Amino acid sequence: MNISGKKIIIFGGTSGIGEAATKIMSEKGAAEIIAISRNPDKMTNVPENVTLEKIDVLDEEALKSFFKNQGEFDVLINCATGGTRAVGPFLKMDLEGYRSSFAKLWGYTNVVRYGTEYLANNGNIVLVSGSPARKCRPGQIAISSVGGAVEAFARGIAPEIAPKRINIVSPGVIDTPMSPLTGNEREEFYKNATQNNLIPRAGTSEEVAKGIIFAIENEFITGTTIDVDGGWLTS
Ligand X SMILES: NC(=O)c1ccc[n+]([C@@H]2O[C@H](COP(=O)([O-])OP(=O)(O)OC[C@H]3O[C@@H](n4cnc5c(N)ncnc54)[C@H](OP(=O)(O)O)[C@@H]3O)[C@@H](O)[C@H]2O)c1
- Using CB under 6 A, list all residues that contact ligand X: 11-12, 14-18, 37-39, 42, 56-58, 79-83, 104, 107, 128, 130, 171, 173-174, 176-178
* Distance, CA of 3 to CA of 5 (rounded, Å): 6
Report the alpha-carbon distance of residue 101 to residue 145 in Å, rounded. Answer: 9
- Identify which of residues 157 and 212 has a Cβ nearer to ligand X in the complex: 212
Q: How far is the CB of 202 from ligand X (least distance, A)?
A: 7
Rounded CA separation 144/140 (Å) = 6
Cβ-based nearer residue to ligand X, 120 or 201: 201
Using CB atoms, what's the residue nearest to ligand X? 16
Choice between 26 and 37, CB closer to ligand X: 37
- Helices 205-217 and 16-27: angle between axes, nearest 10 degrees: 50
Q: Name the minimum Å distance from CB 209 to ligand X.
A: 9
Identify the burial level of 96 via C-beta atoms within 10 angstroms of its C-beta, where 0-12 means exposed, 13-18 middle and 19 or more buried: exposed
Please name which of 206, 94, 77 lies closest in space to residue 142, comparing C-alpha atoms: 94
The amino acid occupying position 74 is D
Nearest to ligand X of 17, 157 (CB atom)? 17
- Region label for 229, one of left (φ > 0), alpha (ψ between -120 and 50) or beta (otherwise): alpha
* Min CB(122)–ligand X separation in Å: 26
> Whole-number minimum distance, CB 55 to ligand X, in Å?
6
Nearer to ligand X, 18 or 123 (CB): 18
To ligand X, the closest distance from the beta carbon of 172 in angstroms equals: 7
Which residue number, 35 or 161, has a Cβ lying nearer to ligand X?
35
Q: What type of residue is 174?
A: I
Residue 72, number of CB atoms within 10 A of its CB: 11
Q: Taking the complex as a whole, how short is the minimal distance between the CB of residue 216 and ligand X, in angstroms? A: 16
